[in-house]
Chain A
Amino acid sequence: MQALKDVSLDVEVGEIRAIIGPNGAGKTTLFNIINGFLRPDSGTIVFDGKSIVCVRPSEIAKRGLARTFQIVKVFSNLSVLENVLAGLGVDIYPSLEAFQRSPFAKEYVEKAWKIIETLGIEKYAFVAAGTLPLGLQKKVEVARALAVKPKLLLLDEPVSGLNDLETQEMIDVVKKINQSGVTVLFIEHDMHFTVNIAQRITVLDYGVKIAEGTPEEITKDSRVIEAYLGSEEVA
């Protein structure tokens, strides 16, 4: 059984790229391979000119690749502020500076606060992240990922489970992040969100890439429609 087969993907610097596909298409697996949680059996992943196959996820994060999770994984018992501060430590953790630097030093708190403001979650800065509703937890995850100072940000279903207002806020946030120079690659089932912000869309089905193109091209593509709705022939 192969979760992914011969998937080839080129994400351009500065773009917003969506990956869509029916459940079980291998989208999250692809993310887990990109950020180092899983090792591909074959093939290469080149990030910023260097191969990142068989590199630890923590090292990949340090090289500028951050992500969020489909099922939110905030640091529940830490305050929102600490979640963001934790992201700011990305360069510090591997060195002995971790034994010296305080996350509550002025420079880190100021940086963290800026990110918290970008997401508009100042009100919750001192609250334990795990006690917040889903929509806010998703924002905390994005804030934490931003703290890693990513060149490439992977968002795994950033708006699943969010209401219309929250989805709209997330659209604005992701656009803002992208305008600040961060390349965004995201997985999403919500077509409103996807079509609204993606410049290009890649479609996976059963672990295989079946289509790639602009939102207009993709919504008309017969293979895509077939993957989602089934073919006209009845098996």
Chain B
Amino acid sequence: MSLDYFLTVSVFSMINMILASSLNILIGYAGQVSLGHAAFFGIGAYASAILTVKLGMGYWPALLLSVFISGLIGLLLGLPALRVREDFLVLATIGVNFVVVSVFNYVKFFGGPYGILGLPRPSLFGHAFTTREYALYVFLWTLVVVFLVRYLSNTYLKLGFDALREDEDAAESVGVSSPRYKMYAFAIAGLLAGLAGNLWAHYMTVVFPDNFSFPVSIGILTMVVIGGVGTLIGAIIVTILPEVLRFARDYRMLIYGLIIVFTMFFMPKGIVGSIKGLIFGDTPLGKKRVEKVRRIAGAQGRIAGR
């Protein structure tokens, strides 16, 4: 196993973690199931490709702009969610995915089926990143995303998303405006997926429409579902499993599929959720928070034991 191979798999794993985090905000937090997430990923990649290759912009301004564009388009593509719910939203997002890929494919400006070639690697102080440095660079972004999501999950934004996911009417009744919170979710998801797209595109240095087709969306959804809400392990498994299974040659994808089906069947809460459930029992709050609350309420001498 060469270092390059290892680096590539790691980079893909990390980019997938960012994608999974992004989709998790939509599905796991806000309950807006999207089966077109590859579209957001693609928009980030193509935006950066066009800005750098066609418009000759440097990597760093292109990074900012492409992430911003993805967030904005995420917001716009989230508009259907204001009108449709649940299964209809799933269909609508699938549609969005097909439309976006078609635009990449058939609009000349986007390079058509041959894509856009020759994306630059980012450079700092005149030194272009080597593959190793790029992997480190992706790692840093992954950390940023992980901490950002952690931070957000401790805010009222998250509780608003929770409320929206659990019951839209009840959420409204406590002051959560469902259009506003759906837009938030789609915008944040768009930003993060756009970042993943940018990182991916400048690693590969080429983008093709097929890289962002519907099966890719299913892959991203699988990562979220397999690991469980709010976890990243699924992204690693989905990326690495097909590599680990290379020994099985022709049967590789068959075994991969079976493993995924069985995980979902026996661990409906995802791998992390199910194992946590086994160890700690079902506590929706999590141990640390329960203790914190007990401390606060207990300090007033008012806590009832369980």
Contact = CB atoms under 8 A, between A and B. Distances in A.
Contacts of B262: none
Contact of A86 (B163, B178, B290, B300): B163
B297 A109 contact: yes
Contacts of A228: none
Interface string B139-183: 000000000000010111101101100110111111111101100
B174 A56 contact: no
Interface string B177-207: 1101100000000000000000000000000
Contact of B155 (A86, A99, A125): A99
Interface stretch (B51-59, B121-129, B244-252, B278-286): B278-286
A204 interface: no
B218 to A, nearest CB: 25
Nearest to B304: A122
Chain B facing A: main interface SS: helix
A35 interface: yes
Contacts, number: 145
Contact-residue bracket for chain B: 35 or more
Interface stretch (A143-151, A175-183, A195-203): A143-151
A74 interface: yes
Interface of A: 35-37, 56-59, 61-62, 66-67, 69, 73-79, 81-82, 85-87, 89-94, 97-104, 106, 109-110, 113, 117, 122-123, 125-128, 144-145, 147-148
Given A82-B162, A109-B292, A148-B174, 7 more contacts: A86-B160, A92-B156, A93-B156, A99-B152, A99-B155, A103-B155, A126-B290
Closest 4 A-B residue pairs measured CB to CB? A90-B175, A75-B166, A57-B172, A73-B170
Interface of B: 152, 154-157, 159-160, 162-163, 166-167, 169-178, 180-181, 282-285, 289-290, 292-293, 296-297, 300, 302-304, 306
